[in-house]
Structure 1
Amino acid sequence: MTWSHWEISPFITSVFFILGVLTLFWVSQNWLITFLNTHYQRVNESIINDWYGLVYMLVFVFGMQALIVGQADAWIFMNFQLIALTFCGYFLNIRIANYYLYPLVLVFMIFNRSLGYWQSWGHALALLLFFTTLRTLRKRVPLQTKVGQVTLYFLTCAGFGLVLWWFMWLKFNLSWGTYWQEWGYLMIFEVLLYIYASMLSANAQLKQNLVSFANHDALTKTENFAAYTTAINYHLTASRQNGVPLTMMMFDIDHFKRVNDTYGHLAGDQILQHVTQVAETVFEANNPNIALYRTGGEEFNVLFPSYDLTEARLVAEQLFAAVNHLVVPFNGHQIQLSISVGIAQLQPEDTTPTEFYRRVDDNLYAAKKHGRMQIVAK
């Protein structure tokens, strides 16, 4: 087998080509997300999924079509383009408004020199309806069973495939044999796409679940000490390099052991959940970048990126007031809560995360030593 002598049929080659394009997408996307997570804390992976997926498939579609623009066989890569459309609309579930997509279709028609053909306009309209239908199936149609989901997917692909290839049949005066052959190839590609993408999605979901389990506290659902360790290392480095402040708060629930001894551990668990919910509400209302971590039994750490001591204390006082007015009902009892808080801003002498942590912990200890239900910030 040489460059000029290829024994493998075009169909087999096409199958491996499509799988290779999809594999390259998943590998490159995962690399990009890993890179951004390493250098920029808390990146929005959904936005990366949307825009990287769109750009990747646009490069794929335009790149292939550039090889045959203006030729009599300018239809030969259409199945590849439909697979790219299906992948973006159904499996990636790209959440991009339609008014971004309309200009892209028009640009492709100009690029393909097809503005003067009514068949191309019908084809473009069918493409937009196909993409919209795929997104609707993915997001809004309640699918009770896997069989129902698969059935709707293939009916949609088959129906729109017939319409889209009909426009190509009209425009290029294809034979009926070619029409049905290309539609059949499209259906085979759609089957392979569904199987392959479902396998990759399942693996990605499993990986995401494992990462989430490793970095989140099972009881409160907030991030745990492992996540805190990763975050403090990142933020400390970023603070040093960018010259921005970093402040940390540590708080714990006063007399928590007494609550457990008096009312039982179920009461303690409920209190931890209530306090976490209140804390997350307060922080989300101020700045979503404020991060809460459960680092011990009743101890929590909070990182304030780009906050100085004064700014962080203002947020801490909101939490302090909210929790100190919190009453948790349990088995007919009303459990009054309070917290003690220690806050410190990163200083030049804090050369390691441990040293920074120790200063915050010292402030928390001072708050508890002087009667609890206090904030010590210095």
Structure 2
Amino acid sequence: MTWSHWQVPPFTTSVFFVLGVLTLYWVSYNWIISWTHTHQIKVADDTINTWYGLAYMIVFVFGIQSLIVGQTNAWEFMNFELIAITFCAYFLNVRISYFLLFPIVLVYMVFDGSLGYWQSWAHAITLMIFFVLLNLAHTRSEGFRRPIVFYFLTVIPFGGLLWFWMKLKFNFSWFTFGEEWLYLIIFEILLYIYVTMLTNDAELRLQLAKFASHDALTKTGNFAAYTEDIERLFQQSSREGRALSMMMFDIDHFKAVNDTYGHSVGDTVLREVAATVQTVVAENDPHVKFYRTGGEEFNLLFPGYDVAATKTIVDQIFTAINHLEIQSGDDVIRLSVSVGVSAITTDDKAPMDFYNRVDRNLYYSKRHGRMQITVA
């Protein structure tokens, strides 16, 4: 972080460099998450966050230190490395057991040629404690009105102590010590602001995406979500020959419920039906997808299921709803549903062909007495 390597003011260089490294991380991480979701790879986002974040920061720290390893100014990039550690431990909340953290630090000391210095050992021990306390600060700050307090109570004193060990090892001036510590504090402030802005923006986008793809009343997927998923699953089924089935149902005489008891009771009926179906799905297979695609019409997609495999879940949903009772004042509303079920076939040239066949099965149930399941 000096003129000798960058030929520009250290502060300006550091800001742009650190922001560039962090931006590259966010872009690449989001690409990986999107890729795993698109290919339905069953890896939790938190797992990817932990291992990719750790690998990314290890490569960064070792890579940048390789530029000056073994030189008399081998301390110059330490603020970059501390920012990487803060980002990894606090903002990504990567948790590493002591059995893994110590070998990583030891390998770094071997790489840096610092095993023979007691100051380096003191620095290494302080660094490991710093990492653990950053994890703790992240946990303690959750739900706290001013989480930044926990953050700075950790990064400021430990930053000073870590630079103190470097001063003893390299014997640079107290002025340099103070300058580097001040730079670190400024970088930590900028890091906090930057990541907070990114996090808030990501949360807003998630909320907007959820609003756009979920039915506000029943908390199920909406027609837009159904359309997106059926396109993807249909293409996957056509390409890979994977089974795909659909269940479609609607509530019998729902218009009469609205006309007799009012739309607020009708909304209650829709919510109760949706909650009942979601409970059945969660107990059987959470990978089954559930949508409200019309007023009282609902769809379920069964990736990997042929018609016979759907029978258990379809029957449970059918039975549960047909035994559902909704209280409205002194009256009890007893519900029933009509159901259509079918699986994708080689004759289906588009998702709408598949949808129309299931829809015909549903209306066959309705025209022939309701409260029944038609499979074809």
- Please indicate, yes or no, whether the TM-score normalized by the shorter chain is above 0.5: yes
Q: Which moved more, 1:74-83 or 1:132-141?
A: 132-141
Residue in 2 that maps onto 1:137:
137
Would the alpha carbon gap of residues 96 and 337 (structure 1) be closer, same or farther in structure 2, given more than 3 Å must change? farther
2:140/2:150 contact within 8 Å kept: no
Alignment partner of 1:89 is 2:89: yes
CA RMSD of aligned residues (A): 2.4
| Count of paired positions | 374
Residue in 2 that maps onto 1:12:
12
Report the Cα distance in structure 1 between the residues aligned to 2:58 and 2:299, rounded to whole angstroms. 44
Which consecutive unaligned segments of at least 5 residues does structure 2 have? none
Q: Within 5 Å, which residues of 2 pair with 1:206-285? A: 206-285=204-283
State the 1:28 CA deviation: 2.3
Report the Cα distance in structure 2 between the residues aligned to 1:266 and 1:255, rounded to whole angstroms. 16
Report the Cα distance in structure 2 between the residues aligned to 1:325 and 1:97, rounded to whole angstroms. 51
Alignment partner of 1:111 is 2:104: no
Q: Within 5 Å, which residues of 2 pair with 1:289-328? A: 289-328=287-326
Would the alpha carbon gap of residues 116 and 267 (structure 1) be closer, same or farther in structure 2, given more than 3 Å must change? farther
Would the alpha carbon gap of residues 123 and 338 (structure 1) be closer, same or farther in structure 2, given more than 3 Å must change? farther
Alignment partner of 1:329 is 2:327: yes
Matched residue SS, 1:71:
coil
Residue in 1 that maps onto 2:187:
189
CA shift digits 1:97-118 (9 cap, x unpaired): 6655444333333333334444
Report the Cα distance in structure 1 between the residues aligned to 2:40 and 2:86, rounded to whole angstroms. 31
2:141/2:150 contact within 8 Å kept: no
Matched residue SS, 1:301:
strand
Q: Within 5 Å, which residues of 2 pair with 1:27-176? A: 27-40=27-40, 44-94=44-94, 100-141=100-141, 143-145=143-145, 148-176=146-174
CA shift digits 1:226-267 (9 cap, x unpaired): 111110111111112222111111111222111111211111
Matched residue SS, 1:69:
coil
State the 1:310 CA deviation: 0.7
Which consecutive unaligned segments of at least 5 residues does structure 1 have? none
1:245/1:345 contact within 8 Å kept: yes
Would the alpha carbon gap of residues 117 and 270 (structure 1) be closer, same or farther in structure 2, given more than 3 Å must change? farther
Q: Return the letter of the residue paired with 2:164.
A: W
2:91/2:195 contact within 8 Å kept: yes
2:137/2:154 contact within 8 Å kept: no
Q: Return the letter of the residue paired with 1:127.
A: L
2:226/2:293 contact within 8 Å kept: yes
Report the Cα distance in structure 1 between the residues aligned to 2:251 and 2:100, rounded to whole angstroms. 50
Would the alpha carbon gap of residues 23 and 350 (structure 1) be closer, same or farther in structure 2, given more than 3 Å must change? same
Would the alpha carbon gap of residues 78 and 243 (structure 1) be closer, same or farther in structure 2, given more than 3 Å must change? same
Matched residue SS, 1:342:
strand
Q: Return the letter of the residue paired with 2:283.
A: A
| Percentage of pairs with the same residue | 55
1:313/1:343 contact within 8 Å kept: no
Would the alpha carbon gap of residues 151 and 254 (structure 1) be closer, same or farther in structure 2, given more than 3 Å must change? same
Report the Cα distance in structure 2 between the residues aligned to 1:285 and 1:97, rounded to whole angstroms. 34
Residue in 1 that maps onto 2:26:
26
2:337/2:370 contact within 8 Å kept: yes
CA shift digits 1:169-201 (9 cap, x unpaired): 333333322222211110010111111112222
Q: Within 5 Å, which residues of 2 pair with 1:350-365? A: 350-365=348-363
Q: Which moved more, 1:84-93 or 1:38-47?
A: 38-47
Q: Which moved more, 1:113-122 or 1:335-344?
A: 113-122
Report the Cα distance in structure 1 between the residues aligned to 2:41 and 2:246, rounded to whole angstroms. 16
Would the alpha carbon gap of residues 51 and 268 (structure 1) be closer, same or farther in structure 2, given more than 3 Å must change? farther
Would the alpha carbon gap of residues 7 and 125 (structure 1) be closer, same or farther in structure 2, given more than 3 Å must change? closer
2:246/2:343 contact within 8 Å kept: yes
Instruction: Please report the TM-score for the alignment, with normalisation by the length of structure 2.
Output: 0.91
Instruction: Please report the TM-score for the alignment, with normalisation by the length of structure 1.
Output: 0.90
Would the alpha carbon gap of residues 229 and 185 (structure 1) be closer, same or farther in structure 2, given more than 3 Å must change? same
